[in-house]
Amino acid sequence: NVNKWLPPLPGQSRSPCPGLNSLTNHGYLPRDGNTPLTPDMLITACKNGFNADADLINFILGAAANLGIPQNFTLGQLNIHNAIEHDASLTRQDCYFGECFKLNIKQFTNFMSHVSNGRTLTVQDMVNCRHNHFNYTIANNPTYLLTGMQYFLAYGESSFIHLFFGASGTWEVPAEFLIPFFLEERLPFFEGWNPPADPVHLSQVFNFISTLQSMPATGP
């Protein structure tokens, strides 16, 4: 199977993005992680792996270029701090604390602790987690930067978790999909996931970001 999951070998690179890393581990993108990625390669991979519409990927690539990411970037070039990579990521450390590109197990555990019903990450759980983690960064990282654009990106990434892995309508995401996606950077096919039946468009992401930003955080 060409799209079999294989973890990276020594010398192969990965990025701060669990989505692109998973596509790479399944061979939708070159497995070495060092090959420069063209817009066509990214659009095709995100379509085949996630059923992301080209309008969404083109928007991300436009934003990436504006934020100083080189054309035909490698996965490693996405690590440039304060280009797309930003503080207060859910599962990666701020640059100030350590490596911003690889999963941090303490942060992942904290993220999963927001699954309040024990089975699925609800939209409210995500709002609470995002809110708490922004506050954590503001309180603990003396060098933190969170511009309007960076808030927007962070909420956009959170939207991806719901729109690509959640049940259409409730947008609840099974915990059993999140664990392989983040820990192994593997698409959770064995756990019963399939890409969304309908292509995920830019407009849906914008709407989802507005929803997340307008919901008050709840709980302790």
- Residues in CB range of 33: below 8 A, 6 or more apart: 8, 12, 13, 14, 15, 21, 24, 74, 75, 76
Q: Are 121 and 161 in contact (CB under 8 A)?
A: yes
Is 130 an interacting residue with respect to ligand HEM (CB under 6 A)? no
Pull the structure tokens for residue 66: 């504006």
- Report the phi/psi class of residue 102: left, alpha or beta, with left for phi > 0 and alpha for psi in -120 to 50: beta
State in angstroms the smallest separation of the CB of 49 from ligand HEM.
Answer: 7
**Quick check: 42 binds ligand HEM (CB under 6 A)?**
yes
Choose between 16 and 180: whose C-beta lies nearer to ligand HEM: 16
**H/E element holding 81?**
none
> 95-114 burial, b for 16+ CB within 10 Å, e for fewer?
beeeebbbbbeebbebbbeb
Q: How far is the CB of 217 from ligand HEM (least distance, A)?
A: 17
Cα–Cα distance for residue pair 118/135, rounded to 1 Å: 24
Which C-beta is closer to Mg ion: that of 20 or that of 54? 20
Tell me which of ligand HEM, Mg ion, none is bound by residue 90, counting a contact when its beta carbon lies within the kind-specific cut-off of 5 to 8 angstroms: ligand HEM
E strand map for 56-211: 120-121, 173-174
57 lies in the site for ligand HEM, by CB under 6 A = yes
Each residue 137-166 as x (binds ligand HEM by CB under 6 A) or -, in order, gives: --------------------x--xx--x--
Binding mask 79-108 for Mg ion (x = CB under 5 A): ------x---x--x-------x--------
Is 19 near ligand HEM (CB under 6 A)?
yes
Q: Residues 75-114: x/- map of binding to ligand HEM (CB under 6 A)? A: ---x-----xxx--xxxx----------------------
